[in-house]
Structure 1
Amino acid sequence: MSRTFNHSIFHHNGDSVFKGKYLSLNVIVMLFTLTFAFCDVYARAQGISLSENNATIEKILHDIEKQSGYGFFYKKQDVQSVKPISIHVEKYTLVQVLDELFGSLPLAYEIQGKIIAIKRKEISSIPAQQTAQELITINGVVHASSGALAGVSVLVKGTNKGTSTDGTGNFSIKVLPNSSLVFKSLGYLEKVIQLGTESATLDILMEPGMDNLEEVVVVGYGTVKKRDITGAVSTVKEEDIKSMPIVALDRALQGRIAGVQVTTNSARPGGSTSVRIRGTGSINASNDPLYVIDGFPTGDLNSINPADIESIEILKDASATAIYGSRGSNGVVLVTTKRGTKGQSNMNLEAYYGIQSLRHKIPLLNAREYAEFINEARINGGGQAYFDGSSADRPLPSQLGEGTDWQDVVFQNAPIQNYQLNFNGGDSKTQYSLSGGYYGQQGIIVDSEFKRYAMRANVDREVKSWLKVGISMQGAHTNSNNSRTETEGGASGGVTNAALNFAPVFPIYDANGVYYRDVSSLNPDYSL
């Protein structure tokens, strides 16, 4: 019985390669992969030739990729921390090249299928002979103005290796050259010391870090000094919010508050997140926290310009959320926006612009390879070859070229930009803060975007010594256009899934200049 196929098949010499950067695909992809054991054996045994002088590790890895077909997975900072090296090999196997490259470096590799994972060598995993040659010994004493400090953590930055000071504040540790030591102790500021290439003796002076207890924290009933707080309250400051471009304030909480789970539901432009402060307490009702901005509850987080935020406080326990009643049962996120200050008037302009792009395309068969595969599959199933040259829609495989790569049709390089203008100032009686901003983000999928136009005005006036009035106004307009990317099963479950499944032998447009639609038996899911 003849069988038909509606899936584009991945080329057996290509696999998805991840190089330690986050992958900005907003999709769930169903992969249908052909694996041949002899291909892997051949790739590892084929000859690799390199001739590089003072080249970066990244360039050498790129050359190995092109010759071997293997991909590398690594943290960029691990590779960039290694100085340029020289390597000269002629027709070496893949394993021989990797042993030659990483033998004298503080990096190790592991081959998993077609991916080669690279990570820093653990000190304990370095051979004894190499350890004696490369490790340096760092001795030292840690003290404060009051005397020696015992129990100070001494960690090698970027690793889990470390030690602690003894009763007299002394420590000793063996590390790789050019490492950094991090000194931590409760009640003192963290200190980072960059080491050189030689053994050394350090004298570390720790500075008290108790000033943060004087910070004022916003709670449900007003403000209070951090040292006087008895409930569970956490704070995200303005500098943390500005450390990376974000579309909404919930993104600023991600990875910054202990016990608060922030999960990105969708990476589409303006996509939402799931915030859980006190876990999941209900199956049917909402588990989202209550968001309060300058005292007013809100639900549309995309309407708030993150550049207007001065601080975010998270109220976790029952005593801190009692003022909000049942609405605060899942925790409360208090947002304080910027207000005017006494003194000279200021004007601040902030802007950034960037480009988002697809990190890696899935390697698929081109039109000729696809036609050959379909013919072979039909013949193996007892049928006749589909692409037999009998009509214009069924040419011979040799008459086909690359065809249509539907990923190139669907994906694009997408700009992201943000502009913010703020005026603030005031005198002893009146303070003001006026701001306007524009945020625009194109999606890497064509025709997906998010735009926001926002304005905010905060004005405070001291009428009497015992009376202060103020006004907070905000206006925002958002516009979003999202492509359907969710996968619901079948070949038509989302734009990305369709781009991977639609046959490369089909053109983008038909003879009439409209989008092509297949009505043949080759793709029955798309037929009329």
Structure 2
Amino acid sequence: MLANFNPRLRSLLYFLSLVFFIPFSMNAQEGTVTGTVIDQTSKLPMAEVSVSLKGSTIGTTTSGDGKYSIRVPSLKGGTLVFTTIGYGNQEFAIGGKTTIDVSLSTAANNMNEVVVIGYGTASKKRMTGSVASVKAAQLENENPGTVQDLLRGNVSGISVSQSTSAKGGGDLVVRGRTSLRAGFSPLIVLDGVIYQGQLADINPNDIASIDVLKDASSAAVFGAKAASGVVLVTTKRGSSGKPTITLNSNVGFSDLAMDQPLYDGPGFVKWRTDVQNSRFANRKPFQFDDPRNLPSNISVADWLKYDNSAGDPVDVWLNRLELKPIEITNYKNNKTIDWYDLMFQRAFRQDHTVSMSGKKDDFTYYMSLGYTDNEGVIVGDRFKTFRMRVNLEGRIAKFLSVGMNMQFADRDESQVPVNWGQMINASPYGEIYDADGITLRESPNDDLGN
């Protein structure tokens, strides 16, 4: 009996040792690493520096005095990564240490970036003026629909307004408005040539980079036209290697972010009642209220005597609200129009661009075709355009290169959107068509001019 019991006892003791001792062994490997992060030049503590364990989701940030504390699963292995904007990343192996102090140095990699400055190109480290640059390749995942989309929120010192129309875009303002009456739009320079056309004619998929000259030094190159800043647009060129064909296609829908409901029938009547009550300070009690809902101390006969009216009390009431005959008829027939559904729509949007680029010996080429068809959220708002670009450049001698930049655009902006300002005031008891059901009425409620 004892011989059979001992193996079971030994197994039980072995299991208990696994349960109680292994967690203590694992916990013994965990630990906390602390330290301070400072600027290598100024020796001042740095706040909001990201501290993370490489290859994991464990991380923290430094406090206002540059200190950090991060718990890691093992002190024997692992690497801490220190990152922040404007400074070079640094990595330190933990190697059993519980304290790691770090000094970060300023990153100088972007100082060698080349920007366009109007009379050529220069590296940022040699620039003395105020220039902001954005590379279109950095924003490809945003699928910009216009040139303004490339600039909006990506370049400091330039304000780009929003446009809710199907065409999109917006106004560009560099350094704020500089005049009360004169224009404040910046000068647009496309591939070194002053551009007089619309930005909507430039396909954003053809753009390689945009540089914005924001200070007064731009006037030295472009004169008084640059008083409001300069936006330099550089389009794509062919690169060495085999021909590259690129297809960019976007399809989507656009909806209202917030509903703008209009008055329904009862709401419109209540609004007209409030209008009349505010217009006539000497009105009689309940003069503009529904005679079917008068208080017990006012009879319909007394209510009619307010202006010596006679006939159907409902007709008298609606006439006091200054409703037109067509509105009174539809009110009695309980017939209304939902102008909201007739005004707004789910807008379909599509944009397609195909391009081909390459380089053969000393000859580079870039060609593209683009088609855009956007609907607006307001019925009748639509923008269509077909755009084409050809950039060719060839070296015919060591000292001479010849090239051609050609752009073609065909815009269709003939659509007439619904007038939002008129629609919000339209009566739900109006009519769209005349009695024939085909001819549009000049006014839904026969109130011409209003």
Where does residue 277 of structure 1 map in the other structure? 174
Q: Residue 440 of structure 2 aligns to which amino acid in structure 1?
A: Y
Change (3 A) 1:356 1:207: farther
CA contact (8 A) 1:338 1:433 kept: yes
Of 496, 509, 525, which residue of structure 1 is paired with 2:420? 496
Q: Residue 451 of structure 1 aligns to which amino acid in structure 2?
A: K
The reply to whether residue 344 of structure 1 matches residue 344 of structure 2 is no
Shift of 1:515: 2.2
Change (3 A) 1:451 1:141: farther
Structure 2 unaligned segments of length 5 or more: list them.
1-31, 52-59, 72-80, 92-97, 278-285, 289-305, 308-315
CA contact (8 A) 2:146 2:168 kept: no
Of 168, 171, 193, which residue of structure 1 is paired with 2:68? 171
Change (3 A) 1:374 1:228: closer
Q: Return the alpha-carbon distance in structure 1 between the equivalents of residues 125 and 147 of structure 2.
A: 26
Of 499, 509, 515, which residue of structure 1 is paired with 2:440? 515
Shift of 1:427: 2.8
1:95-110 matches, cutoff 5 A:
none
Where does residue 425 of structure 1 map in the other structure? 358
Change (3 A) 1:312 1:476: same
CA contact (8 A) 1:234 1:257 kept: yes
CA contact (8 A) 1:460 1:470 kept: yes
Q: Residue 395 of structure 2 aligns to which amino acid in structure 1?
A: E
Where does residue 323 of structure 1 map in the other structure? 221
Between the two proteins, the alignment pairs up a number of residues equal to 356
The reply to whether residue 394 of structure 1 matches residue 328 of structure 2 is yes
Q: Residue 188 of structure 1 aligns to which amino acid in structure 2?
A: G
Shift of 1:397: 5.4
Q: Residue 498 of structure 1 aligns to which amino acid in structure 2?
A: Q
The reply to whether residue 354 of structure 1 matches residue 252 of structure 2 is yes
Q: Which string of whole-angstrom CA distances, capped at 9 and with x for unpartnered residues, describes residues 480-528 of structure 1?
A: 135467xxxxxxxxx112222111112332321122455868x5754xx
Shift of 1:368: 4.5
Q: Which string of whole-angstrom CA distances, capped at 9 and with x for unpartnered residues, describes residues 340-395 of structure 1?
A: 0111111110100111122333334422554466579685245631279xx88635
Please state whether the residue corresponding to 1:481 is helix, strand or coil.
coil
Q: Which string of whole-angstrom CA distances, capped at 9 and with x for unpartnered residues, describes residues 281-318 of structure 1?
A: 33333221111111111132111111000000011223
Of 318, 330, 337, which residue of structure 2 is paired with 1:404? 337
Q: Residue 420 of structure 2 aligns to which amino acid in structure 1?
A: T
Change (3 A) 1:451 1:386: same
Q: Return the alpha-carbon distance in structure 2 between the equivalents of residues 322 and 183 of structure 1.
A: 40
Where does residue 317 of structure 2 map in the other structure? 385
Q: Return the alpha-carbon distance in structure 1 between the equivalents of residues 181 and 90 of structure 2.
A: 45
Shift of 1:331: 1.2
Where does residue 262 of structure 1 map in the other structure? 160
The reply to whether residue 505 of structure 1 matches residue 429 of structure 2 is yes
Q: Residue 501 of structure 1 aligns to which amino acid in structure 2?
A: N
The reply to whether residue 314 of structure 1 matches residue 179 of structure 2 is no
Misfit runs of 4+, over 6 Å: 200-208
1:42-61 matches, cutoff 5 A:
none
Identify which range, 462-471 or 203-212, moves more after superposition. 203-212
Please state whether the residue corresponding to 2:440 is helix, strand or coil.
coil
Q: Return the alpha-carbon distance in structure 1 between the equivalents of residues 231 and 252 of structure 2.
A: 29
Shift of 1:212: 1.6
CA contact (8 A) 2:350 2:374 kept: yes
Change (3 A) 1:293 1:372: closer
1:134-173 matches, cutoff 5 A:
140-141=34-35, 151-154=45-48, 164=63, 166=65, 170-172=67-69
Q: Return the alpha-carbon distance in structure 2 between the equivalents of residues 515 and 464 of structure 1.
A: 68
1:63-74 matches, cutoff 5 A:
none
Of 173, 184, 192, which residue of structure 1 is paired with 2:84? 184
Of 148, 152, 157, which residue of structure 2 is paired with 1:250? 148
Residue identity over aligned pairs, in percent, reads 29
Q: Return the alpha-carbon distance in structure 2 between the equivalents of residues 482 and 208 of structure 1.
A: 54
Change (3 A) 1:351 1:517: same
Where does residue 301 of structure 1 map in the other structure? 199
Where does residue 102 of structure 1 map in the other structure? none
Change (3 A) 1:141 1:348: farther
Q: Residue 405 of structure 1 aligns to which amino acid in structure 2?
A: D
CA contact (8 A) 2:247 2:354 kept: yes
Q: Return the alpha-carbon distance in structure 1 between the equivalents of residues 326 and 157 of structure 2.
A: 62
Structure 1 unaligned segments of length 5 or more: list them.
1-137, 175-180, 192-199, 486-494
Shift of 1:249: 1.4
Where does residue 448 of structure 1 map in the other structure? 381
Higher helix share: 2
Backbone CA RMSD of aligned residues: 4.0
Higher strand share: 1
Please state whether the residue corresponding to 1:325 is helix, strand or coil.
helix
Higher normalized contact order (CA 8 Å, seq sep 6+, divided by chain length): 1
TM-score (norm 2): 0.68
Please state whether the residue corresponding to 1:361 is helix, strand or coil.
coil
Shift of 1:478: 1.1
Please state whether the residue corresponding to 2:387 is helix, strand or coil.
strand
